[in-house]
Structure 1
Amino acid sequence: MASSEAEEKPPEVKPFQVERQRGEQAAKQKIVKRSWKESKKMWAIAGPAVLVSVSQFSIGFVTVAFAGHLGELELAAVTVTTNVIEGFVFGIMLGMGSALETLCGQAVGAGQHNMLGIYLQRSWIISGVTALCLMPCYILASPILKLLRQDKDISELAGKYCRMVIPQFFAYAMNFPIQKFLQSQSKVWVMTIISVVGLGCHVLLNWALVTKLHLGLLGAAMAGNISWWLQVTAMVIYVVSGFFPDSWNGLSPLAFKSLGGFMKLSLASAVMLCLELWYYTAIILMVGYLKNPTIAVDAISICMNMQLWTSMVTLGFNAAVSVRVSNELGAGHPKAAKFSIVVAVLTSLVVGITFTAAVLATKHDFPKLFTDKPVVIKETSKLGYFLAATIFLNSILPVLHGVAVGAGWQLYVGLINIACYYIFGIPAGALLGFKFKLGVRGIWSGMLVGTVLQTTILLFVMLRASWRKEAVQAEERLRTWGGSTDQTPETSLESSAG
């Protein structure tokens, strides 16, 4: 009996074990509390940024949907325009504006709001000149597409449509710098409202011009032009109307100073982003070389539009982590910057898994949003698993790119893109698609290899990065391009450590 009672007696807990358990519990509570605080900061930027990205991207999404019901040739023409010509110039314009994301975010972190208006004007100048240089891509779209060995009928119609949408191209030059200006200050709700209202106007305009007035692709182009310029005009009025007394003090001749250094960062940003967007454009072009290209291009373009639409959601986290990292580095808080990255990656990953599951569950239904042609619906459904895999990977990659923008690593990431996408991914896709005759699925499989490789490398780089060193470089960058700071890098970093 005595031995039985001894066996039932719980083991004695020693005092040092109690203290260790309390310490571990307190540490867990601290991490949870810190994660919640960081998550709220991130969602305050990411939530509105997601709505803006989705709304603005959905302008093209809606246009493709309306064009798809005009006919197979019209759908293919608009898709090629959207994914090849517009994809080419859109990436450059967005990338040029992304330099503002690094500089404005770090200026806000350092408390130098007076430089934001100057940076915005410099970005407008550079983006406007870039737009003029790229306009021949729209004017000469037909011969460019034919040179790329695209179908003759698709190329001719796409060329006509490209010339119709030149006005919205110039709207990009104004739009993207304003977005970065507002996001860096976490002033995004008015921009969000403008974007959502703009999308609503675009749907109504397409319904009126394409469906009711039967203006075809001309009506679709007119709707896009009007919708983009309505949004840009509203945001410019918001910025210059006195709502930003610290960061907008009117036009300044300082906007023309340091344009060389600003241009260098802008080009690095454009290269980084364009190499990403053109990678998926290459899929469209390669599929155009297959037999029966109209059906193949329609199927792959529907999947690409779905993939790009979900990417607009993860681009919200891209913007959020870019702002958070640049703000914290500009303020000299390297540990806070690193913690922001962890929270953003995990959150975006959860969203990506949700989208992946949704695509797999509706792979026989989502093609019907774009076309009522049974052969196109069937071919698109076969690509559902490839689309799901792409969406999953792209729930992580845009966040990693946001970190690169926040830290000013654009050129470095651009080189990684070249290696992973254009040395490994595209050749692998061509080999599987044409040599092994696997068609669209082979092309897409090979290019997924490049995406996996790039994601792995970027994760490795960011895990090994010295964020203290990045904070020092952020302050040096601000001093070089027109800022001044009361703190030396060493002083600010010591205060952040405390």
Structure 2
Amino acid sequence: MERMLQHWSCQSFGTDCKDLTEMAVRTICLTPIYIFAGPILLALGQEERLVRIARVIALWVIGINFSFVPSFTCQMFLQAQSKNKIIAYVAAISLGVHVFLSWLLMVHFDFGIAGAMTSSLVAHWLPNIAQLLYVICGGCKDTWRGFSWFAFKDLWPVFKLSLASGGMTCLEVWYNSILILLTGNLKNAEVSLNALAICININALE
């Protein structure tokens, strides 16, 4: 249903505007949850030691979440013009930078969680910067006409569609979060969470 709503609203209001609005609304609405992740997890009965780590990671994830707003917009703008090679090249470079920074910050300098999250943050924002520069600097000269206030026209209908689409997307992916929360209440929660994280990541590759 969420995918059908997305395609319909894209046809009605434009792909880039809808995706930008949907991702922005979803990210802004979820930001308070990440900010107050520590008290929320403690209230749900999670181990205090795990909560301390999760609270730090949650603050870093806010920056990563906001990176999806320009990311999805630029990707769909480029895909609409069959410029998929640019997306692939940028993704490959970003992956290489991510691997190198992960080794440098976590293994060489031993920065721990801060190093891992810094690497992830850079890897998420680097493609956005590269794609924006490609679009703005002449890569899409036949379709890019610069920024315009017309992008904010008729935002209220798009906003309402974004709430519905974003809500269904959240319901689609939050079952993993519920599993993680339930696993955190098991004995030896750290090992259980590590095992579940491996399973979820493998499942995401399908």
TM-score in terms of structure 2 length: 0.85
Partners of 2:185 and 2:77 lie apart in 1 by: 42
Q: Which of these residues, 202, 205, 218, is aligned with residue 101 of structure 2?
A: 205
Letter in 1 for 2:168: M
How far did 1:126 drift? 5.5
Give aligned pairs, total: 204
Q: Which of these residues, 75, 82, 85, is aligned with residue 186 of structure 1?
A: 82
Aligned to 1:263: 159
List aligned pairs for 1:4-15, cutoff 5 A.
none
Whether contact under 8 Å (2:22, 2:166) holds in the other structure is no
Partners of 1:282 and 1:131 lie apart in 2 by: 19
1:304 aligns with 2:178: no
Q: Deviations over 1:68-89 (max 9, x none)?
A: xxxxxxxxxxxxxxxxxxxxxx
List aligned pairs for 1:332-351, cutoff 5 A.
none
Aligned to 1:239: 135
Unaligned regions of 5+ residues in structure 2, if any? Answer: none
Partners of 2:61 and 2:178 lie apart in 1 by: 22
Partners of 1:283 and 1:164 lie apart in 2 by: 22
List aligned pairs for 1:365-376, cutoff 5 A.
none
Partners of 1:189 and 1:103 lie apart in 2 by: 26
Whether contact under 8 Å (1:122, 1:255) holds in the other structure is no
Aligned to 2:54: 158
Partners of 2:22 and 2:160 lie apart in 1 by: 11
Whether contact under 8 Å (1:168, 1:225) holds in the other structure is yes
Q: Which of these residues, 92, 95, 99, is aligned with residue 196 of structure 1?
A: 92
How far did 1:259 drift? 0.7
Q: CA RMSD in A?
A: 2.6
Aligned to 2:145: 249
List aligned pairs for 1:88-237, cutoff 5 A.
99=6, 102-104=8-10, 106=11, 119-121=15-17, 123-124=19-20, 127-128=23-24, 130-237=26-133
Whether contact under 8 Å (2:38, 2:55) holds in the other structure is yes
SS at structure 1 position matched to 2:139: coil
Unaligned regions of 5+ residues in structure 1, if any? Answer: 1-94, 108-114, 311-498
Higher relative contact order (CA 8 A, sep 6+): 2
Q: Report sequence identity in percent.
A: 35
Q: Deviations over 1:27-75 (max 9, x none)?
A: xxxxxxxxxxxxxxxxxxxxxxxxxxxxxxxxxxxxxxxxxxxxxxxxx
How far did 1:170 drift? 1.9
How far did 1:183 drift? 2.7
Distance 1:196 1:154, change over 3 A: same
State which structure, 1 or 2, has the greater radius of gyration over its C-alpha atoms.
Answer: 1
1:295 aligns with 2:191: yes
Aligned to 1:470: none
How far did 1:155 drift? 0.9
Q: Deviations over 1:61-119 (max 9, x none)?
A: xxxxxxxxxxxxxxxxxxxxxxxxxxxxxxxxxx8xx94x5555x48xxxxxxx85xx5
SS at structure 2 position matched to 1:149: coil
Letter in 2 for 1:211: V
How far did 1:234 drift? 0.4
Whether contact under 8 Å (2:21, 2:159) holds in the other structure is no
Aligned to 1:340: none
Partners of 2:110 and 2:20 lie apart in 1 by: 37
Distance 1:267 1:187, change over 3 A: farther
SS at structure 1 position matched to 2:83: coil
Partners of 1:210 and 1:286 lie apart in 2 by: 29
